[in-house]
Chain A
Amino acid sequence: MTMSEKMKEVPGIYLRDAELKAEDAITFKWRPNAKYIWAGGIAYSRFLEELKNGRIIARHCSECDRILVPPRMFCDQCFRATDEWVYVKDTGTINTYSVSYLDADANRIKDPILVAVIDLDGASEGVGILHYVDNVDPKDLYVGMKLKAVWKPEKERKGSVTDIAYFEPMKED
């Protein structure tokens, strides 16, 4: 890296990885005790509780007449408290999707993970939830595809978005 006319490279000694890991190098290793609690808030907590019962709950804002899911106690467009609880269906439409050949730790994988933003039936347009899609060839995915939730067995549910195992293409009747 050229720094300036006078100085052609950064002075000093570069610390090499081998030196950092060498047995005779003085190093101080530490793991800070950094714990956190993420709380779902009123709306999201109710949403997670309802998932245990196999239901998806949303909030309705009577000002803009939107149905928000995941539910929020405050409307982000009208800047006012939302008004009532409503249930939405566990079916929906792909708003956008991604085919990932990397896992959560950025390892390359052969069978891709499919994720999509799904506009649930009963919720307002563009209000979607992010979830896994499975039982479909990645090549067959398209925006606008109809999906249905596949729920975990009731006794395995614990009030988490993963109580829905994944979404799969809706079977044509």
Chain B
Amino acid sequence: MAFDKNTDPLKLHHVVGDMECDYIYTPGVAGDKFFKALRDEGKLLATPCEACKITYLPPRMYCERCFSELDKWIEAKPSGTVDTFTLVHEDRDGNKLPEPVPVAFIRIDRTDGGLIHQLRGVDSKAVKIGMKVKAVLKDKSRRSGGLTDIDHFAPA
């Protein structure tokens, strides 16, 4: 016998469900310190490894190269360079955005690391690799200890 082909589950008897898979992400000892400094003092912290001449931002507890513990903390300037970028045309639900939003990987000055963040105050067509940008922080009262405490990056 032949079966009617059906690819729509709603046409058949069906059960709609919600998978409750809540999670709590903890950023670890170094991440905790990084986000608290950002929230409370508006500072970007980094951990340098003097032996390897690598400065980690986001900070790490251990050097990824020589595995030594990093206990020196320095403040990085809230400025950097666009290392690479993309233009986002749709939101997370797939709806068209009125304007494309540039999202860049920004290498923070005098560190070997960087952050992924939105660029604003620049025309999406004018974004270039190598562009100098600076972090624009939210007001202290609106910061909650997360990467969005930086509202966006803007041309320096």
Contacts and interface: CB of A to CB of B under 8 A. Distances in A.
Interface stretch (B18-26, B51-59, B107-115, B129-137): B18-26
Interface in A68-119: 73, 81, 83
B116 to A, nearest CB: 15
B29 A39 contact: no
Interface stretch (A19-27, A140-148, A164-172): A19-27
Contacts, number: 80
B19 A36 contact: yes
Given A26-B26, A26-B35, A29-B24, A41 B12 contact: yes
Nearest to A84: B1
**A interface, how many residues as a size bin?**
20 to 34
A161 to B, nearest CB: 11
Contacts of B146: 26, 28
Interface string A31-47: 11011111111101100
B23 A30 contact: yes
B9 A20 contact: no
A29 B23 contact: yes
Contacts of B32: 25-26
A1 interface: no
Contact of A159 (B13, B29, B145): B13
Interface of B: 1, 3-4, 6, 9-10, 12-27, 29, 31-32, 35-36, 145-146
